[in-house]
Structure 1
Amino acid sequence: MDFRALTHKTLDDVQKAATRVGDTAAKAPAFVRSAALRLTSSGRRRLALEHGALHSQTREPGLTDLTATGVVHIKTTPVTADIAAKDDERKASDKPDAVTTDIPVHWYEVEPESPPSAPANDPVTIVFIHGFTLAGESWYRQFNALRKSHPEARLLTMDLRGHGQTGAVPASLCTVEGAAADALAVIAERAATGKLIVVGHSLGGLIALHMVRAAEESIRRRIAGVVLISTSIDKLAAQGVPQILASPVADAARNAIESSPKEIRKFREAIASLMAPSLAVAVFARRTDYEIIEFHAAMINETPLETFVGYLDDLQDHEEFAAGPRLEGLPGAVLVGTKDDVTPRKQADLIMEKWPDAELVEVDGAGHMLPLEAPDAVNRAIERVLEKVQKRS
């Protein structure tokens, strides 16, 4: 493979695709553009040191003061020997075999302060499903607020396959269905009883809808509320960020993961210097603290190349219109920023057509990263849904 030609061609393609995202990056405040430009290889190393590693659990931005953390191991569907051979994110000793692969799904929890003694009054568990190239850490502003306003609720999130501390998996296993299986396994482990409120952001919204539609009846009947943030019930590919990953960039990335580990590392370094800043800047519209922009970019930088490639098909093709009937009668909320170029208002309107019982919350001047960019609006919406669910108990 002519790696140098591939890299230059791909970076050109990514630059053009990032430009097509719209004027969001161009209109971003100067300090945001400055943050993006500083995300060079040396800059990323400095950021990693400054943040004391992204998942330290001791400093913000990020989840802190958790009461429990752990890992749920998931045995996946069969993986061919060919796919296993191409899985170069892991050490050789950790690569999946030709039969199954083990996915160590990391979860993070804030337990209720005063758990009810009677099983019939099990606490409501709020399950947070993060978006593409993010991690459970992205919900830290919700955890901080809700643990104070509603300490009686359990807060539970996880790093979906291919993200965060769960780490890389073969690209073929990065799907909406697979990620939903991760979330359901964590629920079974940590919240086996009691009502559930499922909160999903971006790709996490599609995953939440898939859970509502396809989970086993024992789980589905416990889902008492849903909050969908900056997401879609239709295909995500029509707008925004998926265009950055569209062909020929995706083709080049697919070619790269079929190459040697050395070429993969070179490719990742080359493309991350542009990919992460493009994604990080494009999804914010409001003036946002510099450290949050860095925090968001650090999560993108951490994302394995296999994850970018693996979820691409579902970003382009997956829809969950069939979840509509399952939403009927459920309290919930649909949130969208007025300047969201990834999942704009018309996507929220499609959800509302299928789910008129939900509250539509339009966040003025906000972009796609509402959990980080407009946390108060997100927190209040979750609180309203929680209070409705509690009143029905």
Structure 2
Amino acid sequence: MDSRSRRRLGIAGAVAGAGVGAAVGVRQAVVGRVRLRPDPDADEPFGELRGRELTVRASDGLPLHVEVDGPDDADLTVVFCHGYTLNQDSWHYQRRDLQGSLRMVFWDQRSHGRSGRSDPVDATIEQTGDDLYAVLKATVRRNRPVILAGHSMGGMSIMALADRHPELFDRQVVGVALINTSCGDLAEMTLGLPLVLAKVVRPLAPRTLRGLGRRAELVERARGLGADLAFVVTRRMAFADKHVSPTVVDFLEQMIRATPIDVIAEFYPALVAHDKAACLEVLGGVPTLVLAGGQDRLTPAEHARRMAEALPDAELVEVEEAGHVLPLEYPGVVTGGLRRLIERVRPRQEEERTA
């Protein structure tokens, strides 16, 4: 393969991962230039927060990596569901700042993080909803109250759970947080491109990703060759804050880079085809927090507004200068919203216990 072909393949791999996975491919040399600015997060122990580990078997037998923080006799559990191409460490700030106040469960979606590698035919939102059901059964005692928090694809997994197990939202799930996510119509995504160009690119994306997935080993080797381009795409696609910590960008890059390109390719069609608008009626029975980034090019804020309008007990928070990774870009907004949601559901639990 000549140098021009390798360069094209590297750029293709970088754009594929960054464009549809929110970010990919930041090199230390590029990040280093940005690090000339003061970085308050430089010493943050990203990826080092760990809980009590257990393995949960999904309905197809796949091992799911799960970690639990907090006492088992806590009055409330929050289960965190991460996004596409990420892993449970994407909840770093929430895990750090909510410790000691409640019980928390974190898990890696199939083929992500330390969970098992899924059969490609099971790379669907319906299956991740079933996986969440298995995690709930294994980590939360029957009828004990739980809040579900989902970012991006994690929010879609919650919707799939609501679609397949609506009874849980009558007896166990007492609150839901939906962050940078959508209930459908993701084929309308422009990825920040002009509308005319987006209409040309959209039908090409699935074919391009499938092609990259079939050449996964080659793409993985070439993935970093477009480092400068990948850095620009990362900042543009994942973040809107011009002063985002370069350490956070680097941390995001490491999570994305750990996700094989064929996994990205396998899940992408399921995201585009995702349609769970009908499940909003189920979610409408519990208090809900909906968080959106005003500059989110992957799940635009308009999707969050539509969901909030359909949910009778929803708090909508839109951060105008934010992109697709609110838990990392504006962690205080996410953690603060979760604290408010917790306070909203706890009085209801007290009333039910004394009734």
TM-score where L is the length of structure 2? 0.80
Partner in structure 2 of residue 387 of structure 1? 343
Task: List aligned pairs for 1:129-144, cutoff 5 A.
Answer: 129-144=81-96
Aligned to 1:72, what secondary structure does the other structure show? strand
Partner in structure 2 of residue 161 of structure 1? 110
| Structure 1 runs not aligned, ≥5 long | 26-32, 44-58, 77-101, 117-121
Aligned to 1:123, what secondary structure does the other structure show? coil
Q: Which has the higher contact order (CA 8 A, sep 6+)?
A: 2
1:37 to 1:133, Cα distance in 2 relative to 1, 3 A: same
Once the two structures are TM-superposed, the CA of residue 257 in structure 1 deviates from its matched residue by 4.4
Partner in structure 1 of residue 272 of structure 2? 316
Tell me if 1:374 matches 2:324.
no
Tell me if 1:172 matches 2:118.
no
1:212 to 1:147, Cα distance in 2 relative to 1, 3 A: same
Tell me if 1:265 matches 2:186.
no
The one-letter amino acid paired with 1:71 is T
TM-score where L is the length of structure 1? 0.73
Aligned to 2:255, what secondary structure does the other structure show? helix
Once the two structures are TM-superposed, the CA of residue 220 in structure 1 deviates from its matched residue by 5.7
Q: 2:165 aligns with which of 208, 215, 221?
A: 215
- Structure 2 contact 293–324 (Cα < 8 Å) conserved: yes
2: CA distance between counterparts of 1:240 and 1:144? 34
Once the two structures are TM-superposed, the CA of residue 321 in structure 1 deviates from its matched residue by 0.5
Aligned to 2:98, what secondary structure does the other structure show? helix
Which 10-residue stretch deviates more, 12-21 or 354-363? 12-21
Partner in structure 2 of residue 147 of structure 1? 99
Partner in structure 2 of residue 108 of structure 1? 67
- Structure 1 contact 211–220 (Cα < 8 Å) conserved: no
Partner in structure 1 of residue 281 of structure 2? 325
1:298 to 1:18, Cα distance in 2 relative to 1, 3 A: closer
1: CA distance between counterparts of 2:154 and 2:167? 21
The one-letter amino acid paired with 1:132 is Y
Partner in structure 2 of residue 285 of structure 1? 240
1:173 to 1:20, Cα distance in 2 relative to 1, 3 A: closer
The one-letter amino acid paired with 2:69 is V
Partner in structure 1 of residue 141 of structure 2? 192
Once the two structures are TM-superposed, the CA of residue 248 in structure 1 deviates from its matched residue by 3.8
1:36 to 1:321, Cα distance in 2 relative to 1, 3 A: same
Once the two structures are TM-superposed, the CA of residue 370 in structure 1 deviates from its matched residue by 0.3
Aligned to 2:53, what secondary structure does the other structure show? strand
Identity %: 28
2: CA distance between counterparts of 1:124 and 1:3? 58
The one-letter amino acid paired with 1:143 is R
Once the two structures are TM-superposed, the CA of residue 384 in structure 1 deviates from its matched residue by 0.9
Q: 1:72 aligns with which of 46, 56, 66?
A: 56
| Structure 2 runs not aligned, ≥5 long | 32-43, 350-355
Once the two structures are TM-superposed, the CA of residue 387 in structure 1 deviates from its matched residue by 1.1
Partner in structure 1 of residue 34 of structure 2? none
Q: 2:47 aligns with which of 54, 62, 66?
A: 62
- Structure 1 contact 39–273 (Cα < 8 Å) conserved: no
Once the two structures are TM-superposed, the CA of residue 252 in structure 1 deviates from its matched residue by 4.2
Aligned to 1:71, what secondary structure does the other structure show? strand
Aligned to 2:324, what secondary structure does the other structure show? coil
- Structure 1 contact 333–359 (Cα < 8 Å) conserved: yes
CA distances 1:301-348 after superposition (whole Å, capped 9, x unpaired): 111223111111111111110111102231111111222222222111
Partner in structure 2 of residue 229 of structure 1? 179
Which 10-residue stretch deviates more, 154-163 or 166-175? 166-175
2: CA distance between counterparts of 1:325 and 1:313? 25
1:342 to 1:315, Cα distance in 2 relative to 1, 3 A: same
Once the two structures are TM-superposed, the CA of residue 128 in structure 1 deviates from its matched residue by 0.6
2: CA distance between counterparts of 1:346 and 1:334? 12
1:280 to 1:71, Cα distance in 2 relative to 1, 3 A: farther
Q: 1:300 aligns with which of 213, 232, 256?
A: 256
Q: 2:290 aligns with which of 334, 346, 357?
A: 334
The one-letter amino acid paired with 1:359 is E
